[in-house]
Amino acid sequence: MDSEKYILALDQGTTSSRAIIVNRQGQVVASSQRGFEQIFPRPGWVEHDASEIWYTQSSVAAEAVAKANLTGLDIACIGITNQRETTVIWDRETSLPVYNAIVWQDRRTAAYCEELKGKGYEQAIHQKTGLILDAYFSATKIKWILDNIEGVRERAEKGKLCFGTIDSWLVWRFTRGGAHVTDVSNASRTMLFNIHTQQWDDDLLELFDIPRAILPEVKASSEVYCDTATTLFSTKIPISGIAGDQQAALFGQLCVEQGMSKTTYGTGCFVMMNTGDRPVFSQNGMLTTIAWKIGEQITYALEGSVFVGGAAIQWLRDGLEIVRSAHETEELALSVADSDGVYFVPALTGLGAPYWDQYARGLLVGLTRGTTRAHIVRAALEGIAFEVYDVIRAMEHDATRRSTEMKVDGGAVANNFLMQFQSDLTRGGVVRPKILETTAMGAAYLAGLAVGFWKDTEEIGRYAEVERRFEPEMPQSEAERRIERWHEAVGRAGGWAKDD
Residue 476 is assigned to a ligand binding site:
no
Q: Is 15 marked as binding a ligand? A: yes
Is 350 among the annotated ligand-binding positions? no
Q: Say if residue 246 carries a ligand binding annotation.
A: yes
Q: Is 85 annotated as belonging to a binding site?
A: yes
**Spatial contact of 170 and 56, defined as CB atoms under 8 Å apart:** no
Q: Is 359 known as a binding-site position?
A: no
Contact 384, 410 (CB under 8 A): no
Q: Which CA distances in Å does 3 have to 6, 24, 25?
A: 8, 7, 10
18 labeled part of a ligand binding site: yes
- The verdict on whether residue 93 carries a ligand-binding annotation is no
Any residues with CB less than 8 A from the CB of 473 and at least 6 apart, and which? 420, 423, 424
Is 456 buried (19+), middle (13-18) or exposed (0-12) by CB count in 10 A? exposed
- Amino acid in the structure at residue 437: E
Has 362 been labeled as part of a binding site?
no
Which residues pair with residue 48 across a beta bridge?
101
* CA–CA–CA angle 352, 358, 362 (5° rounding): 80
Q: How far apart are CA 330 and CA 253, in angstroms?
A: 25
Question: Is 411 annotated as ligand-binding?
Answer: yes
Distances in Å between the Cα of 193 and the Cα atoms of 149, 277, 305 are: 24, 17, 19
Give the alpha-carbon dihedral of 412, 415, 416, 420, to 10 degrees.
Answer: -50
Confirm or deny that 330 is annotated as ligand binding. Answer: no
Known binding residue 401? Answer is: no
Q: How many CB atoms lie within 10 A of CB 305?
A: 26
- List, as residue ranges, the binding site for glycerol: 84-85, 136, 245-246
- List, as residue ranges, the binding site: 14-16, 18, 84-85, 136, 245-246, 267, 310, 314, 411, 415
- List, as residue ranges, the binding site for ATP: 14-16, 267, 310, 314, 411
- List, as residue ranges, the binding site for sn-glycerol 3-phosphate: 14, 84-85, 136, 245
- List, as residue ranges, the binding site for ADP: 14, 18, 267, 310, 411, 415
